[in-house]
Amino acid sequence: MQWMIYGANGYTGRLIAAEAVRRGWTPMLAGRNEAALREMGEALGLRWRQFGLEHESGVREGLRDIGLVLHCAGPFSATSAPMLEGCLATGTHYLDITGEIDVFAHCHAQHGRAQQAGVVVMPGAGFDVVPSDCLAAQLFRDCPQATSLVIGFEAGGGFSPGTAKTSVEGLGQGGRVRVGGQMQRVPLAWKTRTFERDGVRRMAMTIPWGDVYTAWVSTGIPDIEVYTTAPPKAIARLRRLRMLGPLLRTQWVQRWLKGRVESSVSGPDENLRARTESYFWGEVRGGGRAQVRRMVTPNGYDLTVSASLGIVDAFLTQDPPPGGYYTPSQLMGADYVLELPGVRIDGPVDDSAATAAE
């Protein structure tokens, strides 16, 4: 199967392409920047193909003879839908590394079309949302009577430009949670609570992380909240931004903020990634039980490389599953994340009551 990395010249795309070559693979590099792709292709000894996503015919032509695309060009709010349409038209399996709730929802809505086309559609093949989705599925497997799920995480190392731009888009949209199986919009930093790591309590706030959508698909748990750790001052600043939501959604403010990102954010270098890791908490409640599981992973970008390429490897070495929409745990199994380098469960599963939300 010939496969493609689209957005190969971006921060994460470059990491994925370099590791693919180290494994002896020969993906097709693709994206919009012809000069950058040519330079990468010559350096890595790979073929490349330049095309944008503005025109359906151009996307279809760009995907000719491609069996699978790993889509890495964000923000995915703008790029996912046209790439997915091209994949459905050409019979190309679709993976991406998004963490955006609305992108998950759009991809899920194409489930029937993907089934008819025989195309596997699986967004969230990286740090968003492989570790957290697998963690949720593990907890639900152990506690199938669960009616509520809380995911918390602490990620070190900073943002890539693409992740930072996605965060800028989210400032004007507020938060998301799931209540009674239904998505609900809530203010920025709607709730706070603490999680304990190594005997130290970490303050955390709710964020609109992809698991608010995907964990419900994977488990059917009706009440879901996702938290990330943050200093109290940062949480207070976000809460002050609530009243500026309409302004933050305007195009000129978005352009200005994204311009600041482009000029100041480069992404963590190799040394910083090696020195930092991520930590996850998962908690389910239901049927009179409360269960907590904790997990340690490498830096989020390194985990994105290993997780996404592990999924690609399954397509290259096995017959693909029937077409349709999948979450990571549905496609690869709840324990898939534990197969990735540097991932481990931190201590035994805890059946004691977890810290209550504030």
Contacts for 28 with CB less than 8 Å, ≥ 6 apart? 2, 3, 4, 5, 46, 47, 48, 49, 66
Q: Where are the domains of the chain?
A: 3-126+302-332, 130-300+338-345
pLDDT tens-digit series, residues 40-54: 999 999 999 999 999
pLDDT for position 247? 72
- CA dihedral in degrees (122, 345, 301, 308; nearest 10)? -30
Is it the case that residue 197 has pLDDT exceeding 70? yes
Is it the case that residue 357 has pLDDT exceeding 50? no
- Cα–Cα distances (Å) from 177 to 45, 159, 187, 284, 340, in that order, read 45, 23, 10, 15, 29
Residue written as token pair 């999948």? 326
pLDDT for position 34? 97
Interval 298-303 mean pLDDT: 96
Decide which of 247 and 301 is more confident: 301
Closest CA to 306 of 274, 339, 275: 339
pLDDT for position 355? 45
pLDDT for position 269? 84
Count of residues for the chain?
A: 358
How crowded is the C-beta side of 204, counted as CA atoms within 13 Å?
A: 27
SS3 state at 182:
strand
Compute how many other C-beta atoms are within 10 angstroms of the C-beta atom of residue 236: 11
Q: In terms of C-beta distances under 8 Å and separation of at least 24 residues, what long-range contacts does 55-60 make, across chains too? A: 56/82, 56/85, 56/86, 56/89, 59/83, 59/85, 59/86, 60/86, 60/89, 60/90
Give the confidence band of 352 by pLDDT, cuts at 50, 70, 90: low
Decide which of 22 and 263 is more confident: 22
CATH superfamily of 3-126+302-332: NAD(P)-binding Rossmann-like Domain (3.40.50.720)
Is it the case that residue 169 has pLDDT exceeding 70? no
Give the confidence band of 165 by pLDDT, cuts at 50, 70, 90: low
pLDDT for position 356? 43
pLDDT tens-digit series, residues 63-100: 999 999 999 998 899 999 999 999 999 999 999 999 99
Question: In whole numbers, what is the pLDDT of the chain averaged over residues?
Answer: 91
Strand partners, 177: 184
Q: Where are the beta strands (DSSP E) in the chain?
A: 3-6, 28-31, 48-50, 68-71, 93-96, 120-122, 148-155, 175-179, 182-186, 192-197, 200-206, 223-229, 277-286, 289-298, 324-325, 344-345
CA angle 190, 264, 164 (to 5 degrees): 35
Q: What percent of the chain has pLDDT over 90?
A: 78
180 and 147 Cβ atoms separated by less than 8 Å: no
pLDDT for position 353? 44
297 and 154 Cβ atoms separated by less than 8 Å: no
pLDDT tens-digit series, residues 97-117: 999 999 999 999 999 999 999
Compute how many other C-beta atoms are within 10 angstroms of the C-beta atom of residue 45: 8
pLDDT tens-digit series, residues 221-242: 999 999 999 999 989 988 888 7
| CATH architecture, domain 130-300+338-345 | 2-Layer Sandwich (3.30)
